[in-house]
C-alpha cells in the first residue's frame, strides 16, 4: 500500500464505496486535488467538486469496482502506455524547464513513472493531444521509453483547462504566470459556461439541467485548491495587463505582485509594454555597468597581486656566477635533454651541439631551496613528445603543478622511434597561493605552427606570448642559446635574464 495520509485514505475509501466523492470543505478540496494529481481520483468535467475513484484508488484500498456510473468513462481512470511520439504536446503555456526534465529522467530510471500524463483522445487513436504532464512526457521521450497516460475526451478548451489547472496547483508559479493562466482559464470557463458571466451566478451556484454550475472563482478554487480572493486578484492582473507585458516580465526580478499592480494602472497596452521594456532595459544597463565595475576591480586586484609578487622577487638573490634564489616569478626553460639512442653504435647524443644533462640532474637543479623562482610563480617548460612524463616529473620536483600546455607544430616531419617527430610541447605549471593566471580573453592558443630552425631553437613567438602576459615581471630563461636572440627580440627588453649553457654574458648569465 502506498504511504497516504489518514484523511486521504478516508476520502479514497468513501469514493470507492459510493462510487464518487463530493468536496465538502477546504481541506477536502486540497486532499482531493492532491489525490487527483497522484492518479487516484478523476475529476468530473461537469459537476464541480465531484471526483471519481480510479483503478489505482481501488487497488490502494482493495475495493471492487462499483456498478456502472453514467458520469464517468472507465477509460479515463485506467492508465495505458503510449509511444511519446504519438502525443502532440502543441504550444504549451510554460516552456520546459531543463532542470525538472533532468530530475524526472533520473527518477524515472530509478523508480519508474509514478503519475501518468493526461492526454485527450482515444486509446486507439494514432495521435492524441497532451493535456497535462509535458515534463514527464519529455523525460520519457529522451529516455526512449513509453509513457503512462490517462485518456480523456473533450475539446481543445477542455485540454487547455487541464493544462492550466495542473500548473495552477504548482507552488512555483510566478505572479506573471498566475495572471496569464487564470485570465486564460476565465476566458475558457466563460465560453463553456456563459450563464456564469457578470455576476449571473448567485450564492450556491447556478442550476442547469439538475447540475450546479458555480461562478468562475468558486469553481477554480475547488479545482486548484486556491482561495477565491487570491484567484480574483490574479485574474484582475491578467485581464488588465497586456499579455505581452506579462511575458516580458516573466521570470525577471520584476515578476512580482507589487510591480504588476503598478503596471495594471497604466491605461493602454502600449504604455504597459513600454514600461516593461524600460524596466528590462534598466536592468541590462545596471548589469553592464556592474560588469564594468567587476572587470575594473578584477584588473585592480590582479595588478596588486602582480606588484606583490614583483616585490618578493626584488628581495631574491641574484648572481652572475650562481643560480639565483627566489628572484623570478616567471620561468622559461628549454632543458638539455639526453636524446634516445638511434642505435648502439652511434650512442645517445648523436647530433647534439651542446652538453646534455641526465634526468636526475635536471630534477635536482631547481628543487627545494635551490629554486630561482618565487613562492608564487609560473613555469613554461619545453619537453619533447617522448619526454612528457619526465617533464611533468621535473615540474613537480621543482614544486610546480602542471596546468596546461602549448603544442609547437614544426610543420616539417623528422625522425623518431615510435612515431616521426613533428611537435614539441611547452608545459605550463604554477605554484603558490597568488593566482598569476592570464585574464580571460588574453590566453594564447594551445597550438602554434612554425617551421623549425637550426638545432633546438624555439620560435620567438613563445617568448613573445610570455612577455605579453607578464610585461613587467622579472623573467628567467634557462639554457638560452645566445645566437637565437636577434636584434629586436622581445627578450632583450630588460625584463628577461638568462642562466645556463650559452646564456651570454651581456644578459648576466653564467657560461
Other CB atoms closer than 10 Å to residue 218's CB: what's the count? 20
| pLDDT (0 to 100) of residue 116 | 86
The rounded distance, in Å, linking the Cα atoms of 509 and 506 is: 8
At a CB cut-off of 8 Å and minimum separation 6, what does 110 contact? none
Grid coordinates representing 445 are 592558443
Grid coordinates representing 183 are 485570465
Q: What are phi and psi of 67, to 5 degrees?
A: -65, 165
Q: Write the DSSP assignment of 324-386 as a string of letters.
A: -BS-EEEEEE---BPPPPS-TTT-S-TT-SS--B-HHHHHHHT-GGG--EEEEEEEEEEEEGG
Instruction: Look up residue 109 and give its DSSP letter.
Output: H
Grid coordinates representing 349 are 647524443
The rounded distance, in Å, linking the Cα atoms of 474 and 492 is: 12
Grid cell 596546468 is found at 403
Grid coordinates representing 483 are 645566437
The rounded distance, in Å, linking the Cα atoms of 329 and 376 is: 6
Tell me if 146 sits within 8 A of 161, measured CB to CB: no
Instruction: Look up residue 282 and give its DSSP letter.
Output: H
CATH number for the domain formed by residue range(s) 316-339+354-499: 3.40.50.150
The rounded distance, in Å, linking the Cα atoms of 101 and 139 is: 5
Instruction: Look up residue 448 and give its DSSP letter.
Output: E
| pLDDT (0 to 100) of residue 364 | 92
Helix H or strand E segment including 87: strand 87-88
Tell me if 180 sits within 8 A of 243, measured CB to CB: yes
The rounded distance, in Å, linking the Cα atoms of 477 and 496 is: 7
Grid coordinates representing 231 are 484567484
The rounded distance, in Å, linking the Cα atoms of 46 and 145 is: 34
Same fold, 6-61 and 79-198+214-264: no
CATH number for the domain formed by residue range(s) 6-61: 1.10.10.10
CATH topology of domain 79-198+214-264: 3.90.1530
Q: Using the Cα atoms of residue 83, residue 85, residue 90 and residue 96 in order, give the sign of their dihedral.
A: positive
3-state DSSP call for residue 473?
Answer: coil
Grid cell 468558486 is found at 218
Q: Write the DSSP assignment of 213-246 as a string of letters.
A: E--HHHHHHHHH---HHHHHHHHHHHHHS-HHHH
Tell me if 89 sits within 8 A of 158, measured CB to CB: no
| pLDDT (0 to 100) of residue 395 | 95
Grid cell 515578476 is found at 255
Q: Would you write out the chain's pLDDT as a tens digit for each of its 511 residues?
A: 455 677 888 888 888 877 788 888 878 888 888 888 777 888 776 667 788 888 777 766 665 555 444 444 443 457 788 899 999 988 887 778 888 899 899 988 888 887 888 899 888 899 999 988 889 999 999 999 999 888 888 888 888 888 888 777 766 788 998 898 888 888 888 887 787 765 555 545 555 544 555 678 877 877 777 788 888 898 999 999 999 999 899 888 899 999 999 999 998 999 999 999 998 888 888 777 777 666 666 666 767 777 777 777 776 666 656 778 888 999 999 988 887 655 555 544 455 555 788 899 999 999 988 899 999 999 999 999 989 999 999 999 999 999 999 999 999 888 888 888 899 999 999 999 888 999 888 999 999 999 987 766 889 999 999 999 999 999 999 987 656 688 889 999 889 988 875 444 433 343 3
Cα separation of the two ends of the chain: 86
The rounded distance, in Å, linking the Cα atoms of 492 and 464 is: 11
| pLDDT (0 to 100) of residue 202 | 52
The rounded distance, in Å, linking the Cα atoms of 287 and 280 is: 10
| pLDDT (0 to 100) of residue 502 | 47
| pLDDT (0 to 100) of residue 263 | 92
Q: For strands 21-22 and 206-208, give the pairing.
A: unpaired
The rounded distance, in Å, linking the Cα atoms of 462 and 458 is: 8
Q: Domain extents for the chain? A: 6-61, 79-198+214-264, 316-339+354-499
Amino acid at each position: 500500500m502506498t504511504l497516504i495520509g489518514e484523511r486521504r485514505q478516508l476520502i479514497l475509501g468513501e469514493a470507492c464505496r459510493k462510487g464518487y466523492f463530493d468536496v465538502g470543505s477546504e481541506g477536502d478540496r486540497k486532499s482531493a486535488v492532491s489525490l487527483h494529481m497522484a492518479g487516484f481520483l478523476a475529476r468530473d468535467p461537469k459537476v464541480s467538486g465531484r471526483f471519481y475513484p480510479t483503478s489505482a484508488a481501488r487497488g490502494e484500498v482493495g475495493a471492487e469496482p462499483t456498478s456502472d456510473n453514467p458520469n464517468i468513462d472507465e477509460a479515463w481512470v485506467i492508465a495505458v502506455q503510449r509511444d511519446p511520439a504519438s502525443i502532440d504536446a502543441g504550444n504549451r503555456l510554460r516552456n520546459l524547464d531543463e532542470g525538472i526534465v533532468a530530475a524526472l529522467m533520473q527518477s524515472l530510471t530509478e523508480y519508474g513513472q509514478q503519475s501518468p500524463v493526461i492526454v485527450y483522445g482515444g486509446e486507439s487513436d494514432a495521435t492524441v493531444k497532451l493535456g497535462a504532464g509535458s515534463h514527464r512526457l519529455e523525460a520519457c521521450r529522451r529516455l526512449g521509453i513509453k509513457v503512462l497516460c490517462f485518456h480523456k475526451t473533450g475539446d481543445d478548451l477542455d485540454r487547455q483547462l487541464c493544462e492550466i489547472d495542473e500548473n495552477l496547483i504548482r507552488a512555483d508559479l510566478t505572479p506573471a504566470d498566475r495572471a496569464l493562466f487564470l485570465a486564460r482559464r476565465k476566458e475558457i470557463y466563460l465560453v463553456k459556461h456563459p450563464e456564469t458571466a457578470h455576476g449571473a451566478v448567485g450564492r450556491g451556484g447556478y442550476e442547469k439541467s439538475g447540475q450546479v454550475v458555480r461562478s468562475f472563482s468558486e469553481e477554480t478554487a475547488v479545482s486548484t485548491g486556491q482561495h477565491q480572493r487570491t484567484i480574483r486578484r490574479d485574474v484582475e492582473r491578467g485581464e488588465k495587463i497586456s499579455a505581452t507585458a506579462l511575458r516580458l516580465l516573466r521570470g525577471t526580478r520584476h515578476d512580482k505582485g507589487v510591480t504588476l499592480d503598478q503596471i495594471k494602472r497604466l491605461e493602454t497596452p502600449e504604455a504597459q509594454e513600454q514600461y516593461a521594456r524600460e524596466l528590462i532595459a534598466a536592468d541590462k544597463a545596471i548589469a553592464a555597468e556592474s560588469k564594468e565595475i567587476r572587470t575594473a576591480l578584477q584588473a585592480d586586484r590582479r595588478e596588486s597581486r602582480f606588484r606583490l609578487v614583483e616585490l618578493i622577487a626584488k628581495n631574491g638573490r641574484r648572481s652572475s656566477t650562481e643560480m639565483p634564489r627566489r628572484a623570478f616569478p616567471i620561468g622559461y626553460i628549454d632543458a638539455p635533454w639526453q636524446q634516445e639512442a638511434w642505435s648502439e653504435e652511434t650512442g645517445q647524443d648523436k647530433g647534439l651541439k651542446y652538453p646534455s644533462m641526465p634526468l636526475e640532474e635536471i630534477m635536482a637543479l631547481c628543487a627545494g631551496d635551490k629554486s630561482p623562482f618565487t613562492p608564487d610563480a609560473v613555469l613554461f617548460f619545453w619537453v619533447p613528445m617522448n619526454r612528457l612524463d619526465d617533464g611533468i616529473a621535473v615540474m613537480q620536483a621543482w614544486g610546480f603543478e602542471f596546468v596546461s600546455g602549448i603544442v609547437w607544430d614544426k610543420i616539417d616531419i623528422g625522425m623518431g622511434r615510435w612515431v616521426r617527430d613533428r611537435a614539441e610541447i611547452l608545459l605550463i605549471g604554477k605554484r603558490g597561493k597568488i593566482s598569476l593566471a592570464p585574464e580571460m580573453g588574453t590566453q594564447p592558443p594551445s597550438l602554434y605552427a612554425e617551421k623549425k630552425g637550426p638545432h633546438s631553437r624555439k620560435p620567438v613567438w613563445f617568448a613573445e606570448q610570455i612577455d605579453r602576459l607578464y610585461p613587467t615581471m622579472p623573467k628567467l630563461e634557462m639554457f638560452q642559446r645566445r645566437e637565437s636572440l636577434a636584434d629586436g627580440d622581445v627578450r632583450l627588453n630588460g625584463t628577461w635574464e638568462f642562466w645556463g649553457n650559452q646564456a651570454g654574458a651581456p644578459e648576466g648569465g653564467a657560461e
